[in-house]
Amino acid sequence: MKYAIVDYRTSEEEICNLKKLGCEVLACPPSSILYEAVCGHPDMLLHIFDEKNIIVHKDMDTNFISSLKALDFNVTFSKNSLSSTYPYDIILNSVNLPNLFVHNIKYTDPKLLEMVNPKKLIDVKQGYTKCSTALVTKNAVMTSDKTIAKALLKENIEVLFLPPGDIVLPGLDYGFIGGCCGLIDEHSLAFFGNLDYYAYGDIVLQFLEKHNIKPIYLKEGKLTDRGSLLIIETCKLKP
């Protein structure tokens, strides 16, 4: 079964389209600690480690935890609590590649660092690492952050650098490329919005075509940063 974890404010249109793609949608409950614009963003509140393991912030809603456990996910709690102020709101906002873990390591939650061992740690200045980075394949990403781009190029990851801006994030000036999309499978990248309305849509489409990735639009209009589309696919575990 495939599950899509989304911000609780995701529109009915987007949810309906995710269901058409075969996803069961799980609405991520908000944190009262974070400011309104990002309070329900999954990439701030949890981190999917692999097909069975999810780490969540330690004060996550208990009903949501029960739902995850009922689906046979192993749920780990962060050691630290989120804070409303940077950099203590970024403890889980990281990029997890097959052999690399990318984040501002100084502020990564210690429990998450335990889980990613022995992957190579890539330390970057940008704390909102996942917000700023869209995974395209295991060897290709898009980002609007120069420090992330520079660090990943050194690791032989192909990078499409996109200027910041032209992505909607209600309550803030603009959102980020990583926050407005997520891989549905190894050949499909779904967007909260349509690249036809994005200033850099043409170069994104060229990059996706190069890597044999099909764009899927969950709604019409401008790209919207909803804190990433997090997909996890698993089967019921045997007793």
Average pLDDT value for residue range 51-56:
96
**What is the mean pLDDT of the segment spanning 85-112?**
97
What is the rounded average pLDDT of the residues 145-159?
A: 98
Asked whether residue 235 carries a pLDDT value surpassing 90, the answer given is no
Give the residue extent of every domain in the chain: 2-233
The predicted pLDDT at position 238 comes to 38
- The per-residue pLDDT for 234 is 74
Q: Output the average pLDDT for the chain.
A: 96
Residue 239: is its pLDDT beyond 70? no
> Looking at the predicted structure, is the pLDDT value of residue 236 above 50?
no
Domain boundaries 2-233, corresponding CATH code: 3.75.10.10
Residues belonging to the chain = 239
